[in-house]
Structure 1
């Protein structure tokens, strides 16, 4: 078992877990690379077959490397990875999210992977690389991403004689017209259990704002742009444009007002949600559109990153780079997207399907924001969400709400 003294103490975990050993050599002179893969492909049997084929195909192309792809579950992923890093035993490569990359990088649990994409950086959507770049170095190779965009109940707009809203102004103008029919123009998942990446943050980005300052040391959501985004929601609610319980509503489609024809559009919609809307409303009554435009167009598209952990040994580095380059290649991305229903992080790979939906989703990738990675990202969300609820409830003005949340968030950043 390959272990070595940990260069950091912050990741020491109390969980007692069993880890697979990974070594620089398998005893036959081959480099050995262990990769922890999580359920990108939801069907467990299909996932096992897919990654077994991928492992075999890589080894055929790279006979000097023994690749071990070990399938994990999302349950306690943070604790599992943290404990592995603390023990110095576990995967050379691990699939993580941008905010996890920021956290593990901060405690020196990751190694740069610029060499794995050398000469190929321009092939990637810039935002997917930006999501894993810290202090000018790349700490994760983006191998797939999910994308969200706008979904409309076209029948509602047709019956009201309205064009499909494409801008904030369009949405605000449509709100009172539909409110007279007891229909909210747009839903909003204001529950504190909902990630703000799928609710408030896309509006913030559309306003031209950001969650954090450029250096990541401060929050910036209390800016003029942030106030504008929250004011948009408050104004929409005043015009009858949001469901009555928008401040506490969850993201579910089934059983929600949008599935009952009581809401006309969802501004941040995934492909599975689109399918649920069509099942409830009829395929002919639901259509996709590009992300809404405030000052700019923006939506949330979160990449999956393959990151090189500090467990990887120097003599095994080139083999690990080979794995990263192979799994992020056009052929590998096209294959994974087809199997998992995910979307490419490369501009030279098309969406995993044809037809109007995939044309829109592929174009939406150009407007995708992967979120703003920070070790404190989740804590900042927890501080901000209740203040957004307070503004929607009329207890605070948008400016007051964001000021209060920013004070709490800055205290969190200071402690961290």
Structure 2
């Protein structure tokens, strides 16, 4: 596994608890123990999500009668602020669902405990999800799923515009954009709302251009280089020929009720499988083609593991890790993948299905990047997003937008 070295600067001061042994204990000494998990909408349908996690609680408590498990369903909105505040005040959950970049941030501020020696059947886990949350040689979360994103097309719109082959590269997208614009269709559904994570909008384009947000050692900003300018200029060039939705600078990435479902945009480049299912429901299954991730200089997509991390306010590490290992167990993980449209992190868990759409997403995992796993990555993202929006609104050039964002971001890094 790759060893990541943690920076020494903390952005929040937390009182870390002593790192005691936190292995799961099935000895029967678990009486009157309580474990709280903060879970997020990995299952998009609220009713199905509540039903699934309620069932997990019941199954776990039936198998571990001394532990009361509460899985609290939290919203994505203001997630980091709520987690940091809860941990800092000592009122946070025992376990919290995190992505890889988030996990590093909370390790940085003393909010998580390592679980390196406490993951059941660790040899059955794939290396990549474990590596993504391994910092200074310790693992800081039990992986329970991994996500994948890729491209999906409304093939009827391309056919109507006279585009014979679905575009798979930047140059092909740019070439086809004017043909679809003549039909009143934006070729590329881009979502520029600053509230949306850039992992699902600009960052995949940056990676496809061969760029990155940070330098390799994480000590400086890199998104203002030629690769970043090329990625943002790609969007501006598409916009100039009618290739983006008219509200691209402000819209979110919802499929239902959005351009992809309404037939006013022809392709999405950073879609999850549940979003593709929404396209299929709106347009008809035969109208939607799922392809490989888009290629610029590189072929890259976003995909990250979801891990249950042990917080420093955990009241009983052994009970919490018992719950985490239960949720990560093959039977529960497989059903979660089916319900959420996610993918296995274990060798002993089957793919959620074998249909063409699922297999296309499984193939996309080989192109997946877990994001920018560096200290302050989320803070830098928050700085960058409004500058990209400003460029899409015509206020500044691509080069100036990224230069302004880089100057602001470097103050976060102490530059």
User: Into which bin does the TM-score normalised by the smaller protein fall?
Assistant: 0.7 to 0.9
- For the 8 Å contact 2:186–2:266, the answer to whether it is kept is yes
Q: CA deviation at 1:266?
A: 0.8
Q: CA deviation at 1:200?
A: 0.3
Q: Take 2:254 and 2:290, find their aligned partners in 1: how far apart are those partners?
A: 18
Distance 1:183 1:68, change over 3 A: same
The residue aligned with 1:46 is 51
The residue aligned with 2:13 is 10
RMSD: 3.3
Q: CA deviation at 1:93?
A: 3.0
In the TM superposition, 1:4-403 aligns within 5 A as 10-11=13-14, 29-30=29-30, 32=33, 34-39=35-40, 40-41=42-43, 42-43=46-47, 45-56=50-61, 58-59=63-64, 66-75=66-75, 78=80, 81-82=83-84, 85-86=87-88, 88=90, 91-117=93-119, 120=122, 123-124=125-126, 126=128, 128-159=129-160, 160-312=162-314, 321=321, 323-374=323-374, 376-403=376-403
Q: Take 2:296 and 2:346, find their aligned partners in 1: how far apart are those partners?
A: 26
Q: Take 2:261 and 2:121, find their aligned partners in 1: how far apart are those partners?
A: 47
Q: TM-score, normalised by structure 2?
A: 0.82
Q: Take 2:79 and 2:193, find their aligned partners in 1: how far apart are those partners?
A: 24
Distance 1:144 1:397, change over 3 A: same
Q: TM-score, normalised by structure 1?
A: 0.82
Distance 1:58 1:367, change over 3 A: farther
The answer for unaligned runs of 5 or more in structure 2 is: 1-10, 16-21
Q: Take 1:350 and 1:166, find their aligned partners in 2: how far apart are those partners?
A: 29
Q: Take 1:177 and 1:130, find their aligned partners in 2: how far apart are those partners?
A: 44
Distance 1:120 1:238, change over 3 A: same
Q: Take 2:94 and 2:389, find their aligned partners in 1: how far apart are those partners?
A: 42
Q: CA deviation at 1:49?
A: 3.6
SS of 1:193's equivalent in the other structure is: coil
Q: CA deviation at 1:147?
A: 2.3
- For the 8 Å contact 1:38–1:74, the answer to whether it is kept is yes
Q: Take 1:77 and 1:151, find their aligned partners in 2: how far apart are those partners?
A: 28
Deviations 1:163-190 (A, max 9, x none): 1111112211211222232322111111
SS of 2:37's equivalent in the other structure is: strand
Q: CA deviation at 1:9?
A: 7.5
Q: CA deviation at 1:360?
A: 0.6
- For the 8 Å contact 1:208–1:296, the answer to whether it is kept is yes
The residue aligned with 1:3 is none
- For the 8 Å contact 2:112–2:309, the answer to whether it is kept is yes
Q: Take 2:367 and 2:225, find their aligned partners in 1: how far apart are those partners?
A: 22
Counting matched residue pairs gives 390
The answer for unaligned runs of 5 or more in structure 1 is: 1-7, 13-21, 61-65
